[in-house]
Chains A and B, each alone.
Chain A
Amino acid sequence: MPYADLREFLGVLEREGQLVRYSAELLPEPDVGALSCAAGELGATAPAVLLDNIKGYKGKKVAVNVHGSWANHALMLDMPKLSSVQSQFFELVNRWERYPGQVEWIEHAPCQEVVIDRDINLYEVLPLFRIHRYDGGYYLSKACCVSKDPEDPDNFDKENVGIYRIQVQGPDTLGYQVATFHDGGVHFQKAERRNAPLPVAICLGNDPMLSFMAATPIPYDQSEYKFAAALKGAPFALTKCLDFDLDVPAFTEYVLEGEVLPGERVVEGPFGEYPGTYSGVRKQLLIKIKKIAHRRDPIFENLYIGRFWTEHDQLVALSTSLPLYKEVKESIPEVKAINAIYQHGLTAIVSTRVRFAGFAKRVAFRVASTPHGATFCRNIIVVDEDIDPFNLQEVMWALSCRVRDQRDIIFIPDTEGSVINPVAAKSGGMDRKLIIDATTHAAPEEELEDIVLIEPSEKVPAFKTLLLNLQKAGAPSTPASQSPACRGPRAGGAK
Chain B
Amino acid sequence: MKCVRCWRDSASVIAKAPDGSGAWEVYHCTTCHFTWRDTDEEEVTNAKKYDARFRLDKRDFDQMRVAYPIQPTK
Contact = CB atoms under 8 A, between A and B. Distances in A.
Contacts of A58: 19, 21
Interface string B8-21: 00000011111101
B24 A56 contact: yes
Given A133-B41, A170-B28, A59 B70 contact: no
Interface in A1-33: 27-30
Contact of A59 (B19, B31, B41): B19
B41 A56 contact: no
A280 B54 CA distance: 9
Contact of A283 (B14, B30, B37, B67): B67
A134 interface: yes
Given A56-B18, A130-B40, A133-B44, A138 B35 contact: yes
Interface in B25-74: 26, 28, 30-37, 39-41, 43-44, 51, 54, 56, 60-61, 64-68, 70-74
A267 B32 contact: yes
B43 A169 contact: no
Contacts of B65: 280, 282-283, 428
A477 interface: no
Contacts of A283: 64-68
Given A170-B28, A171-B14, A267-B31, A133 B68 contact: no
A76 B54 CA distance: 38
A57 B17 contact: yes
A182 to B, nearest CB: 11
A82 B26 CA distance: 43
Contact of A30 (B41, B56, B70): B41
A284 B69 CA distance: 9
Contacts of B16: 124
B28 A192 contact: no
Contacts of B67: 177, 179, 265, 282-285
B74 A193 contact: yes
B14 A170 contact: yes
A204 interface: no
Contacts of B37: 28-29, 130
A283 B32 CA distance: 10
B23 A55 contact: yes
A262 B73 CA distance: 10
A170 B56 CA distance: 19
Contacts of B15: 121, 123-124, 171
Contacts of B33: 136-137, 167, 169, 175, 266-268
B70 A192 contact: yes
* Max chain A Cβ within 10 angstroms of own Cβ: one of B34, B60, B61, B71: B71
A258 B68 CA distance: 19
Contacts of B64: 267, 281-283
* Max chain B Cβ within 10 angstroms of own Cβ: one of A30, A59, A177, A185: A30
A168 B60 CA distance: 21
A189 interface: yes
Interface string A326-351: 00000000000000000000000000
A194 interface: yes
Contacts of B32: 136, 267, 281
Interface in A265-285: 265-268, 270, 278, 280-285
Nearest to B22: A56
23 contacts: A28-B39, A29-B37, A55-B21, A55-B39, A56-B18, A56-B19, A56-B24, A57-B17, A57-B18, A58-B19, A124-B18, A133-B44, A168-B35, A170-B28, A180-B68, A263-B70, A265-B66, A265-B68, A267-B31, A281-B60, A282-B67, A283-B67, A284-B68
Interface of B: 5, 14-19, 21, 23-24, 26, 28, 30-37, 39-41, 43-44, 51, 54, 56, 60-61, 64-68, 70-74
